[in-house]
Structure formats: C-alpha cells, structure tokens
Amino acid sequence: MFKIFRKELDWGGTPLVMETGKVARQADGAVMVSLGGTSVLCTAVAAHSPKPGQDFFPLTVNYQEKAFAAGKIPGGFFKREGRPSENETLVCRLIDRPIRPLFPSNFKCETQVICTVLAHDMENNPDIAAMIGASAALTLSGVPFFGPIAAARIGWIDGEYVLNPTVDQMDSSELDLVMAGTHEGVLMVESEAKELSEEVMLGAVNFGHKSIKPVIDAIIDLAESCAKEPRALPEEPDEKSEIQAVLAGFTDQFEAAYKIADKTERQAALAEVRSVAKEKLGDQHDSVLVGGLVKSLEADVVRGAILKTGTRIDGRDTKTVRQIVAEAGFLPRAHGSALFTRGETQAMVVATLGTGQDEQIIDALVGESRSNFMLHYNFPPYSVGEAGRVGSPGRREIGHGKLAWRAIRPLLPVKDEFPYTIRLVSEITESNGSSSMATVCGGSLALMDAGVPMARPVAGIAMGLIKEGKDFAVLSDILGDEDHLGDMDFKVAGSDAGITSLQMDIKITSITAEIMEIALEQAREGRIHILDEMAKALNSARDGLADSAPKITTMKIPVDKIRDIIGPGGKIIREICETTGAKIDIDDDGTVKVAAVTGTSGEAAVARIRDIVAEPELGVIYNGKVVKTVDFGAFVNFLGAKDGLVHISELQDGRTEKTTDICKEGDEVKVKVIGFDDRGKVKLSMKRVDQETGADLEAAKPEEGDAA
C-alpha cells in the first residue's frame, strides 16, 4: 500500500531521518523528519494557478506543537491547542525567512507549508527538524523552489562550537545561533549571544554552513528518487518589454524623486511619478505586471546610484549613521522611560518593575518555566502615516520584540541580585528603517532610567546590502526604502564589549563570508557611535529606583517557618498584605521577598514576618496581648503567632485570687521570658516587668551584699 522512501544520516552524532510516502500522501510534498527522538511532519501544498489580480506571493508557513508530542494534555477550559504561542510564531518566521527568497519572483500561486511536532524527546529542539522538513517537502513537491536549504543550531560551550546542542547543553552555552542556507551560502541567521566578538559570531555562521551541507545533499538524494515532476515556471508576458520601454522614459524623474531626503516629501514625489507613468501606459496592460515593473525600475535607480556614486537616498555615504537624539526620563510617572530618535525612526520605550507575582508563566513542550523579563513591541499604523486596524500583535511585532529581547537580556542583572520582574514596552511612534534596533537603544536607556543595574548599555544597528554581479555596497543604518529595494537586512546589537544578538535575512540566493565580515565590522563601528550618542542622555543606571517603583526587601527564613507565615489557608500572609499594603513572595528554600511602594509599608511587613519567625529569648521583654484567661494564669500572644503562659503566681507580687483580677482577654501587657518547659512551651512573667515603662524589675534589684 505504501511506497516509502527514506534517507538517514549521522549528523554530528545524532541520527537524522527523512521519510516520505507513508503519511499525508495527498499533499504536494510531505516529509517526516526525525532528529534523535524528536519527530516533525512537514507538508507543502501550492495552488496550480494564481488568483486573478494577485500582485504578491502568498506564502504561509504554519508551525504547530501538539501537546501529545510530550505526553501532555493542554491546559485551559477547552483542553485543546489554541492560538499559536510566541515560540510557535517565532519558529514560523524562522522557516519562512530562508525559503521565501528561493521562489521565482513571478510565481504568485498560493503556497502553504505546515510543520507539526509529533514527538519531542526533551533533548533535540524541533525547530531545526521543522526547517529541514519544510525544505525537503518543497523540494519533493514539484513547486518551483530553488532550494533545497538546511538549518542548524550552533552553540558556543567552553570555547568550542557545538552542532545542535541539546536542551540541557543550551543552559551552559554562551551562544544560541540558528542559521539556514544553501550549498552556495547563508540565507538566514538568528542569534542570542553573551557579548561575543565578531570573529566568534562569524566563525559560528561558517561552522554552521559547513555542517548543513551533508543535510542538503541528503535532501537532493531523496528528491532524485521520489520528487514529483517540476512544474513549469511562469512565462514572461509578451507585453513586458513594451511596458519597460515606456517606463524607461521616467528614469530621470524617479532619480530626482529619490534625491529628496525627507521621507514624506519623497513618497509624495514618487507617487506623482508613478501616477504619471501608469497614466501614460493606459489601461490596456495588466496592472499587476505594471506595478511590478515600476518597482523593479525604482530598485534599479536606487541600487545603481549607490553602486556608482556611493551616495544614498538621503545623501549619506555608506557608513554614516543618521542623526540621533536620545532622551531618558521622558514620562514622569513611569518607572523608567526613554525616547530614542534616529532620523525618521522613533521609539518610545517604557520600563515597568514588578514582583515575582508578575513573572510570565511559559507552558512549553519541555515543561513550564517562568520569565522575569518581558519585552513587547508595538507598531501602530500612524508610525508610517497610515490608517489601519489596531489589534493583537502579528508575527512581525512578535519577531521584532523577540530580537530586541535577545539583544538586551544578556546584560541584565541576575535575579538573585535584582529580584524584580521587568517589562519593557516599545511604542514605535515613527518608522523609516530598523525600528527593532531603535527599540534596543531605547530599551537600554529606559532600563537604566529605571535604576536597573545593567552591566553595560546596549545598542543596535541595521545594515543593508546592494549587490550586482561582483560589485556590492554594505550600508549602515538603512532606510525603509533601502530595506525594501536592497538585498540584505542585517541587524547587529550589542555593547562595546561584544555582540548580544544578530539577525540576518537575505533576499538573493546567498552571500559570501567576505560580505558578512565587512558588514560585521561596519556594524561594530556604527554600534560604538550610537552608544556614544546614547551616553549623552544616560551612560549608566540611576542610583535609585523611581519613587513609584516597588522596593523589594529580601530575607531568609528557616524552611520550617514558611507555614507559620502563610498560616492556615493563607490567612496570615493575606492579613499581612492587607494591613501593610505590601506584596510577599516566598520561595521553597525560605527566601522571602517583600515588595512595597512606600518604605513604611515594607518595613511594617518585614517586622511582622520577623516577629513570626523569631524565637523567644530567655530574659527578653516583649509586648504582648492576653488571648485567654484560665484559673491557673493567662495565655499571652507576644511574638508573632507565639503564645506563652503567665502562671497565676507570675501575674503580680503577692497572692492573686483570680486571674481576671489582674488582666482580661484583649489587654496589652508586657512580659518577660523566664523559661521553657519540657515540651518547649514558653513561661512568661508579668510581675518582673514594670507594666508602665517596660523596665526589667529584676535588673533594677541590687545584688546581695551591695549597700542598701
């Protein structure tokens, strides 16, 4: 019934298996990829004709993690998988970015890739298997795809590169780099690093590129035995040359428009030229084809000018960074804030400090974890002068936010030193190129403004590439138009000590190591310049936290005292929080964190906790409250929840007929610890303490033999 094709190889000590022909046979391409004990089913399907008027390539990538892959049942009321998690969205982007440039530019058929995690061995991350599987499925499908590609994760452990480190190994790695590429070169890089040098980062990319070549060969071998017949490439329209001839007459006008430095004025001038050009062409031509050829002409104008003259759209040379204005403490009530403006890109970033109760709970296949650092990036339509829908964050917002999160996180203090939950929110208020890197710069300033003791400030810069044949130009701090019309989006963030995050996307088939090396060095120069500009606003964390920020006091208590603070059903801790206004977090190891906005609130809560966990000391006088009277004495609550007995003989000097003659329930009294019985119960005395002043009457008595 099944005609199964299988390819297996030992990849860096881990078995990699690709199998097709048994599952999802009605898809154009379907491959089950297993990396160790982790399995992902990847399918690819493409429509046979584009929709009428389709002017873009509708590629959709879906990555979904099934709870059964880890032997779990989903949480929540419905008990089934719901909207994609942040990690699923990020992996979708990882798969999409390297495969998208490998489709023909005139291929407009709707295409969908779905990767489903079926098994997770808790060692091998499924994202790499999904990227390989997506490439294999497309290669087998017959869809015009100029692959295959392969991907790998690279770690840096004890000064050595590690191919596809396990989940546990990643805890000790100073680098988490995912790269993808073809035989010829690298297409995509996504990474987080602990201030590593440009040489180490470039070495990791080259190591990864070398490591993926056997996988690419394995996909090719599999395709040679079972790939479907390739579909014919879309034919060039007969009218293309006629349209190009007409548009050529508008080259000078486009060149003049692209020399306007101001973005708004430039866009208005370009819109006018486009309108006139389309009017001259008339309505007899396909509007989608005309639009594509106009964009192609604009790309030639911009790219040609840069390669010939070295001068860019706004008049800068290839290395100059736009003017920067950085301002810290922009919002008066925020715990920390910054307004970072670079040219026509602006990010307003706000830092908020919280307690352990504000940590984000992450439910993943490998288990539940908590994160005390969150970064949320928002891109409202007004930032580019448009009116649009405002809703939940899309893939772009999640991806840009995660890139900035990776850039900043390595410089944050460890939780033990700074026990706060940190949330950064970046509102992009203007955009013309690299708002994610503006988020990194503004986020660093906002954190320092909030008093977060960062090891060093962090900055980021976006690089671009124009490549025609052997000629190329690497551009620092690219504009939005240079991003759209260029060949590379290369973002580098870090401190003056090294790189913390690197992201690269290529729109051409690949780039060389030489270009990457030049881009990294140029990015380092730009990053240092931006850090110098940021230092004019703030170059280190402020000495104290904002008045409105919670102040956290950390203390250690014996583990067996935790239940005394919590109380039955949480009664005691709830009462402390309600009466003092503080928040209290207790860890299993006895670490107690008390957070309060005002000092008096925190001090009151700490005092209550210390009273509860404190042990009574012999001979020490305490304030207490009578909680019960009996014939033989009074029980007094004197140290947190601790009670002791004042025997009737210790109520006053002389004989006492009835306990209630001296004290009643609710009376405030002063007591002295005079001993402990065999069961550890505390013996107290009232008569040995001056009830007015609290003085120790025994200490005031003269010793025997002293003069009276």
Name the average pLDDT for the chain: 91
Give the tokens for residue 278: 């389309």
DSSP code at position 689: B
* Model pLDDT for residues 282-300, shown as the tens digit of each residue: 777 777 788 888 888 888 8
Give the tokens for residue 472: 């190329």
What DSSP letter does each residue of 264-305 carry, written as one string?
Answer: HHHHHHHHHHHHHHHHHH-SSS-HHHHHHHHHHHHHHHHHHH
* Model pLDDT for residues 566-600, shown as the tens digit of each residue: 988 998 899 999 999 999 999 889 999 999 988 88
Residue 703's pLDDT is what? 52
pLDDT exceeds 70 at position 708: no
Q: Count Cβ neighbours within 10 Å for each residue of 441-478 and write b for 16 or more, e otherwise.
A: bbbbbbbbbbbbebebbbbbbbbbbbbeeeebbbbbbb
120 and 126 in contact (C-beta within 8 Å)? yes
Hey, do 551-613 and 621-700 end up sharing a CATH topology, with the first three levels equal?
no
Place of tokens 């639009």: 291
Specify the DSSP element, H or E, that contains 611: helix 599-613
* Model pLDDT for residues 511-531, shown as the tens digit of each residue: 777 888 899 999 999 999 999
In 3-state terms, the chain is what percent helix, strand and coil (to 5)?
A: 35, 30, 35
Strand 111-119 and strand 150-157: the pairing is unpaired
Task: Using CA atoms of 561, 567, 569, 572 in order, give the dihedral in degrees to the nearest 10.
Answer: -130
Strand 360-364 and strand 345-354: the pairing is unpaired
pLDDT exceeds 90 at position 10: yes
Query: Edge-to-edge, what's the strand order for the sheet holding 373-378?
Result: 324-328, 336-342, 345-354, 421-430, 373-378
Strand 551-556 and strand 583-586: the pairing is unpaired
Q: Angle 298-385-375 (CA atoms, 0-180°, nearest 5)? A: 105
Strand 360-364 and strand 29-35: the pairing is unpaired
Q: What share of the chain in percent tops pLDDT 90? A: 59
| Max Cα-Cα span within the chain | 126
Per CATH, the number for 324-535 is: 3.30.230.70
Domain ranges of the chain: 5-226, 240-309, 324-535, 551-613, 621-700
Return the top range by mean pLDDT from 150-154, 243-247, 391-395, 655-659: 150-154
- The CATH fold of domain 240-309: Arc Repressor Mutant, subunit A (1.10.10)
Taking CA atoms, 120 is separated from 152, 439, 665, in Å, by 17, 34, 63
* Model pLDDT for residues 625-680, shown as the tens digit of each residue: 999 999 999 999 887 668 899 999 999 988 888 999 899 999 999 999 999 887 77
Backbone angles phi, psi at 91, to 5 degrees: -70, -35
621-700 sits in which CATH class?
mainly beta
5-226 sits in which CATH class?
alpha beta
Q: Which of 675, 672, 681 is nearest to 699 (CA)?
A: 672
Considering the segment(s) 551-613 as one domain, its CATH architecture is: 2-Layer Sandwich (3.30)
Residue 20's pLDDT is what? 97
pLDDT exceeds 90 at position 437: yes
Q: Whole-prediction pTM value?
A: 0.86
Residue 683's pLDDT is what? 92
Task: Using CA atoms of 430, 431, 435, 438 in order, give the dihedral in degrees to the nearest 10.
Answer: -50
Tell me the C-alpha distance between 36 and 15, whole Å: 5
Tell me the C-alpha distance between 594 and 605, whole Å: 7
Beta strands, E only, 421-512: 421-430, 459-468, 471-476, 488-495, 498-506
H helix intervals, 424-491: 435-449, 480-485
Tell me the C-alpha distance between 280 and 277, whole Å: 5
- Grouping H, G, I as helix, E, B as strand and the rest as coil, residue 537 is coil
| Omega before 126 within 30 of 0, i.e. cis | no
Place of tokens 């994610």: 436
179 and 189 in contact (C-beta within 8 Å)? yes
